[in-house]
Amino acid sequence: MNDMRKIERDVKMTDTKITARGVNVHYGDTHAIKDVDVDIADKTVTAFIGPSGCGKSTFLRCLNRMNDTIDICRVQGDIRLDGQDIYDKRVDPVQLRAKVGMVFQKPNPFPKSIYDNIAYGPRIHGLARSKADLDVIVEKSLRRGAIWDEVKDRLDQPGTGLSGGQQQRLCIARAIATEPEVLLMDEPCSALDPIATAQVEELIDELRRDYSVVVVTHSMQQAARVSQNTAFFHLGHLVEFNVTDQIFTNPQDSRTESYITGRIG
């Protein structure tokens, strides 16, 4: 109990990074997200859980406007990053995505060298002034991605040649290299084995020091392990949003309780 109080205090101390109010998403005729309100805290891991097709990934993709790339997708509502409406006409989604990085379900290293994978973001955003600068960024990002020791001797080899878990950490390092403020992770461990999963989870916990991290996950254990706050989605509704321990020990909604005890989902 003491432990839980400590985390609660932690959360209250941090600021809100993203606020979403009345978000609705339609895919063609399908109403995928229904009136979702959520506050995502800075320097915290927030987990989105829920059964398949409940809209958690869709909502995640609203936060960096990745849904813009899908023709039939319409997003309504108000999403603010540091108080700035990200769906405002003046906001360039390209710059937004540099600020809100994303890691995908399936590791997706580019068919380039490990170095070029990491350097991709810094290069397109002009973050490095010289080759030496870029080298520093690459090393720092790979260290933060907890993969430096494994790849430091083969930076010129293709990123696609790494194992699945290494690829995913490479993708996380690649996302970090652009110096984002928020890191969105869409089921980052679903394609990984338990050992690689443990490594990535450890990494997520590390990242909390500098970033606001949002993780979509199927695994309730994972949500319990890595997150401070948890949102439970069901059929496009945000059913319950609370401190993680509260969700798992004392759910307020009967649907949340059914899900975490394995009766639905």
Count of residues that interact with other proteins, criterion CB under 8 A: 29
The CA distances from residue 26 to 33, 67, 90, 240, in Å, are 7, 10, 23, 21
| Selection from 237, 253, 242, 252 nearest residue 50 by Cα | 237
User: Of 2, 52, 69, 130, which one interacts with other proteins (CB under 8 A)?
Assistant: 69
Residue 140 touching other proteins (CB under 8 A): no
| Residues 6+ away with beta carbon under 8 Å from 78 | 19, 20, 21, 22, 23, 85, 87
Residue 74 touching other proteins (CB under 8 A): no
Q: How far is the CB of 23 from other proteins (least distance, A)?
A: 19
Stretch in the footprint of other proteins (CB under 8 A) among 4-12, 35-43, 118-126, 205-213: 118-126
- CB-count exposure of residue 233 (10 Å: 0-12, 13-18, 19+): buried
Q: For the segment 165-194, give every residue that binds other proteins (CB under 8 A).
A: 171, 174-175, 178
Q: Which is nearer to other proteins, 186 or 240 (CB)?
A: 186
Tell me, what amino acid is at 167?
Answer: Q
Residue 227 touching other proteins (CB under 8 A): no
Residue 104 touching other proteins (CB under 8 A): yes
Residue 157 touching other proteins (CB under 8 A): no
Tell me, what amino acid is at 244?
Answer: T
